[in-house]
Amino acid sequence: MGRAFSTAAVLTAALTLVLAGCSGQNGSTQDTSGTSNYGVPNTNSSPVPNLKENGAILEMRQTELGSIATDQRGMSIYQFDEDTQNSGASSCTGGCLDLWPPVPSGPASLSDAKGITGKLGTITGTDGKPQLTLNGWPMYYYVSDSKPGDTKGQAVSDVWWVVDSAGAPIH
């Protein structure tokens, strides 16, 4: 019986070590929500492979603000009043990009949208990468949105807005 007990104890200890390796440094479990700790979409753990390469796919989602456009993970997207519609350029540069990362555009972005009625397009963002546009407006994420359905960027400085299916800002 002593040998069976020690074998079970060794197996239990090994299993504990394996499970501990699946947690973060402070013992918390790994983030599988598709967002980083900063609320910025984490394309490495995204349930949709190659978000950076294939681009975000827009869809509509019900929130406390009504029906808004989000990406395929449910992360809210925003329009910036400082941008000029149909200009083909983003006005968000430098520190602005730290808080408002561009929504990536790719082949899937332009063909697989669900419930979006506005025209989808692509510009070269100020970070040099393809950025998704909706109805001529460059689209952004907000770093404080940490989970699907968050709309913490709504009305920030009275210039950032979630958008409807046509790409019109919701004020």
- 14 has a pLDDT exceeding 90: no
Predicted confidence band of residue 2 (pLDDT cuts 50, 70, 90) = low
- Record the tokens describing residue 157, joined without a space: 């400085």
* Alpha helices (H) in 21-157, listed in sequence order: 51-54, 95-99, 107-111
On whether the CB atoms of residues 102 and 92 are closer than 8 A, the answer is: yes
Residue 26 lies in a domain: no
Structural domain boundaries, residue 71? 51-162
Residue 28 lies in a domain: no
- 88 has a pLDDT exceeding 60: yes
Average pLDDT over residues 142-150: 96
How many domains are there within the chain? 1
Residue 32 lies in a domain: no
Average pLDDT over residues 122-138: 96
Higher pLDDT, 97 or 10: 97
Q: Which residues of 83-119 are buried (b: 16+ CB within 10 A; e: fewer)?
A: beeeeeebebeeeeeebbbbbbbbebbbebbeebebe
Higher pLDDT, 158 or 18: 158
- Record the tokens describing residue 22, joined without a space: 């699946």
Higher pLDDT, 28 or 150: 150
Predicted confidence band of residue 51 (pLDDT cuts 50, 70, 90) = confident
Average pLDDT over residues 11-32: 33
Residue 155 lies in a domain: yes
